[in-house]
Each structure stands twice: as C-alpha cells, then as structure tokens.
Chain A
Amino acid sequence: MIGQIVHGLGTGAVYAALALALVLVHRFTGVVNFAQGELAMVSAYVAWQLVEAGLSYWAALPLTMAVAFAAGALAQRVVMRWAGDAALIMTIGLYVLVHALAAQIWTSALRTFPNPFPGGPLGVAGPLAVVAAVLALLYLVIRHSGAGLTLRAVAADPRAARLAGIRVGRVHALGWGLAAVAGAVSGVLVAPVVFLEPGMMGNALVSALAAAAAGGFVHPVAAVAGGLLIGVAETLAGTYLWADLRVVVPLAVLLALPAVRSGGLARVRA
C-alpha cells in the first residue's frame, strides 16, 4: 500500500507540474490552455534530442526549459495575441497544430527516454524534488522580480496595468513562457515512464485539468496538491479496484468538486 502511494506521488508530480502550467496561463491571461500538454510533449522531444546528441539528462533539462520558455512566449505572440474572444478555441487549434507538427517531425514511432532516477522510493523523490524546485523558482520570479510584478499587475487589472505603462502583450507572452517551463518539466518527467510519442500527454492533460480545477485554475499550490492527490488516487484505484478505473479518477474528481464548493482545495487550505 505504501509502495503504491509512493508510486502514485511520482505520477502525481507529472500532473502537478502540468496543472501548475495550466494555472499560470489562466491566472495571467485568463484562458485555459488545452495545448499545454502538447507544448510539454514537444519539450520532451527537445530533451530527447539533446540527450541523443550526447548531453546528460541534467544538462538537457535547463536547456529544454529555456527552449520551452521561448516556445511558449512565441505561441502567445504569434498565435494567441490575435485570438481575442476565441482564445479558448484557439488553444484547441494550437493543440491540433502542435500535435500535427510533432507527428511530422518525429513520426508517431514509440521511443524510449532515459530515466535519470533510480528505482524504488528514491526514484519517486526525484520527480517530486524537480517539481518542488520548479515551483520555488516560479514563486521567486513571480513574487520577487520586476517581471513578476508586471504579471501580477496585469492579472489584477489589465486596463490599469496599461495605464501604468506596462506592455500587456509582452506580459502575456511572459506568462505563457513561464507556464511552458512548468509544462516542460511535466513532459520530461513523464517521458521515461510512458513512451515518447505525440499522444503521450493525453492522459496527463485530463488529470492536470482536474487538478487545476481543484484550485479554481488560480491557486498554484492547490493545483500541485490536487495533482499529487489525483496521482495517488489513480494508482490506488488501478491497483486495488480494477486497472481501467484509473482513467475515471480525474473525471470523478471534477464531478466531486462542486461538492467541495467553489475554490476547491483552496478553500480547505484557507
């Protein structure tokens, strides 16, 4: 049982990172980004290419995060800035576009990704530590940097932010970039567990959406906690009930949320 819970936390770390990405985009630009998982998938491919080129996993990770930041910001500047009221639909379009491009570049062949973490409980501590480090890094940037101040100002009142001379478009790009960094971590963490292929983030996205919803799409800590909880619940349900039940768990969480009332886990936390 303990072993299953630990294993679930490892899976949950992936959901937590992706849920964090969803919360960042929603909080700072007001849209749920359905393409977040696909951006993470591309990041995993980038990391894989770097490792194939001879880099160590730990050298590839920060490089991948930098590429992901640029890709996220670019997606906002090139595609999303023109979306206006159709932003939600546009993220679905972005999902299809990125998925198709990835299938074109890397084909749909299954590839294996090296696992940098040892087996056993220590192997789970690894992903958790990576997610915790990224969470801390994002917290520092958002809370204690000038760029973070512009993000929070835009989230609080976009029009007042413009009247303070803040270039809102660039700030939105920054939000997408930071979210893509969190998403990249989820992609790189999940890649050694599942096979590397264009559809690899499908299940994780559903679980991460449920986790982000647990925080009302605005509370990063609640989203991370929700991701870990869903990871554990999925593993337990899959092991002790029946395997196919795993995929139902995030949906059950979504259905249960109204019962926890608005704000979800955030309310419990407060």
Chain B
Amino acid sequence: MSGLEVGGLRAGYGAVRVLHGVDLVVGEREVVVVLGPNGAGKTTLLRALSGLVAARGVVKVGGTPVLGLAPEEIVRRGLGHVTEERGVFGPLTVEENLRAGAFARPWPRRGVDDDLARVFTYFPVLQAHLRQPAGTLSGGEQGLLAIGRALMGRPRVLLLDEPSRGLSPGLTDRLFQTLAVVAAREGGTIVVAEQNARAATRVAHRVYTLDGGRLAA
C-alpha cells in the first residue's frame, strides 16, 4: 500500500487556478522532491494536501481518502505538514512544542517520551534548548523544531515546505541526510518542496518538477 496517492488535484485562490490536475503516488519509506521556481505552486500543492486550501480531486493517506476534511482531521489521519512559515509556538518551550505535536496521534497517546528521545537523536540541537521559548531559537533551529513536532505525531506522510530555508549549505546537506534516515527508519513517506535542487535531489528517490500546474517527472 502506498503512503500517499494524489489524483487529478485542482486547487487555486478564488478565480486563480494554480494546480491543474496533479497526479502523484509515493510509497512508504520513499523521499520525493518536488522542484519548481517561486510561484510554481509548490506551497499550494502542500496546502491542498493538508486541507489548508480548498481543492478537488483525490487525496489518500495510507489508503484513506482525506480531501475535504478539516486540517486537524487530516493531520490525525497521518499527514504531517511543516509549512514554509514553520509556525512554532513562540512563547512555548521547545519541549512543549514537541509534546503539542503528539496531539495528532489517536488515543491513547503512549510512548510520547520515547518519541521525544528519538526526535533528539535526529535533531540533537533541540535537546540542548529544551526549556527555552521556541521564539528565541534561530530561524534554522525553528525549522528543525517544526519538523520534530510533526514527527511527534507519527505521520505516515510528511510534507516539508522548503526545509532548507534559513540553513547553510552544510546544514542543509545534513538535514537531508537525516530525512533519508527518518524515512527509512520510521517507515514514512516524505514529500519535500524545494527551490534548492542541489541538496534535495541527492537523497531523493524520485524528483518531480511542478510546471504549469502539473507535475512532470
């Protein structure tokens, strides 16, 4: 069974159509990169998948149709989304941010502490700032925190919008190597939207280009 299935996805803002029928199937333990210049619709694609933007077509997470559900319900069915704004809870501590991510999981939420420990193995920098308000982290660290928070929800599919933003080329390379490990170990599916082709494509199983509102391999 595939992690993510997208068929004929159309979305836009008001009268402006951005996506004209996107088809995409991503298997488990796969990392897929969607490339495209600014304004190509990468962010809109991810938003449509997570319910932040109204869309038509088919979206299945682990075989379950999710299109039309509210974002929190889609997240609860296994789709994690790290937006381009990151959206960390600034006044909350790093630990509280991570624990908040566990609310995406169904009851009973067992093993939250184990998951925290695993997130720290991926992103040790978060453990160093555990009791610090998230708003005091650097932009790059906030990006890692947002990914860690999404992982706390044990997503089957993880969408990442420009994870390299705010990171140096060296840190970007390390992040993508970590993501490859995450996909392999957690058994999830990762979809990365990037402008930065260099680092992303090195660990990707497949690379697509979003052009004219459609995906091309």
Give me the interface of A with B, judged by CB distance under 8 Å. Answer: 146, 149-150, 152-153, 156-157, 159-168
State whether A165 and B103 are in contact (beta carbons under 8 Å apart), knowing that A149-B96, A159-B52 are contacts in the complex: yes
Inter-chain contacts of A167 with B (CB < 8 A): 72
* Bound CA span A117–B10, Å: 67
B 89-117 binary contact with A (CB < 8 Å = 1; else 0): 11110001001110111000000000000
CB-defined A-B contacts under 8 Å, sample of 21: A149-B96, A149-B100, A152-B89, A152-B92, A153-B92, A156-B91, A156-B92, A157-B88, A159-B71, A159-B83, A159-B87, A162-B71, A162-B72, A163-B87, A164-B75, A164-B104, A164-B153, A165-B75, A165-B103, A165-B105, A167-B72
Looking at A159, A161, A162, the one whose CB has the most chain B CB atoms below 10 A away is A162
- Say yes or no: A164-B52 contact (C-beta < 8 A), given A156-B92, A159-B87: no
* Complex-state Cα separation, A75 to B149, whole angstroms: 32
B197 nearest CB across to chain A (Å): 26
Contact A166/B100 with A153-B92, A156-B92, A159-B52 known, Cβ cut-off 8 Å: yes
Q: Is the CB of A164 within 8 A of B100?
A: yes
Beta-carbon nearest neighbor of A150 in chain B: B103
Asked if A163 and B89 make an inter-chain contact with CB atoms under 8 angstroms apart, the answer reads: no
Question: How long is the Cα–Cα vector from A164 to B87 in the complex, in angstroms?
Answer: 10
For A143, the closest partner residue in chain B by CB is: B96
Expressed in whole angstroms, the Cα–Cα distance for A162 and B70 within the complex equals: 9
Within 8 Å by CB of A160, from B70, B88, B91, B99, lies: B88
* Minimum C-beta distance from B210 to chain A (A): 21
Docked complex Cα distance between A163 and B100 (Å): 10
Contact B153 A165 (CB under 8 A): yes
Q: Does B20 touch A at the CB level, under 8 Å?
A: no
Instruction: Give CA–CA (A165, B104) in the complex, Å.
Output: 4
Measured between beta carbons, the chain A residues less than 8 angstroms from B90 are 156-157
Specify which chain A residues have a CB less than 8 angstroms from the CB of B80 in the assembled complex: 163
Minimum distance in angstroms from B114 CB to a CB of chain A: 17
In the bound complex, what is the Cα–Cα distance between A150 and B150 (angstroms)? 15
Cα–Cα distance between A117 and B30 once the two chains are bound (Å) = 68
Are A157's CB and B87's CB within 8 A? yes
A163 CA to B85 CA, complexed, in Å: 12
CB distance from B6 to the nearest CB of A (A): 19
Give the distance to chain A from B84, nearest Cβ to Cβ, in Å.
12
Q: How far is the CA of A156 from the CA of B104 in the complex (A)?
A: 17
Distance between A8 CB and nearest chain B CB, rounded to angstroms: 34
Size of the B side of the interface (Cβ < 8 Å), in residues, is: 26
Give, as a whole number of angstroms, the nearest-CB distance from A96 to chain B: 31
Interface presence of B50 (CB below 8 A): yes
B60 at the A interface (CB under 8 A) = no
Alpha-carbon separation in the docked complex, A164 to B70 (Å): 12
A165 proximity list for chain B (CB < 8 A): 72, 75-76, 101, 103-105, 153
Q: In the complex, given contacts A153-B100, A164-B150, what are 7 additional A-B residue pairs having Cβ atoms less than 8 angstroms apart?
A: A149-B92, A152-B92, A153-B92, A153-B96, A161-B100, A164-B100, A164-B103
* Separation of A162 and B88 alpha carbons in the complex (Å): 12
Q: Once the chains are docked, how many angstroms separate the CA of A163 from the CA of B51?
A: 10
Question: CB of B81 within 8 A of chain A?
Answer: yes
Find out whether the CB atom of A166 lies under 8 angstroms from the CB atom of B72.
yes
B142: min CB distance to chain A, Å: 11
Known contacts A165-B75, A166-B72: does B87 contact A150 (CB below 8 Å)?
no
CB-defined contacts of A166 to chain B, threshold 8 Å: 72, 100, 103
Alpha-carbon gap, A159 to B103, bound state (A): 14
B115 to chain A, nearest CB (A): 14
The 6 closest A-B pairs by CB, nearest first: A165-B104, A160-B87, A156-B89, A165-B75, A162-B72, A162-B71
B70 to chain A: which residues have CB within 8 Å? 162
> Shortest distance in angstroms between B95's beta carbon and chain A's nearest beta carbon?
10
Once the chains are docked, how many angstroms separate the CA of A165 from the CA of B71?
8
- Measured between beta carbons, the chain B residues less than 8 angstroms from A163 are 50, 52, 71-72, 75, 80-81, 83, 87, 150
Please give the distance in Å from A238's CB to the nearest CB on chain B.
40
A113 to B83, CA, bound (A): 55
Question: Contacts A162-B70, A165-B105: A153 and B89 contacting too (C-beta < 8 A)?
Answer: yes
Residue from A152, A157, A165 with most neighbouring chain B CB atoms (10 Å): A165
B50-92 Cβ-contact flags toward A at 8 Å (1 or 0): 1010000000000000000011100110001101000111111
Complex alpha-carbon distance, A165 and B75, angstroms: 5
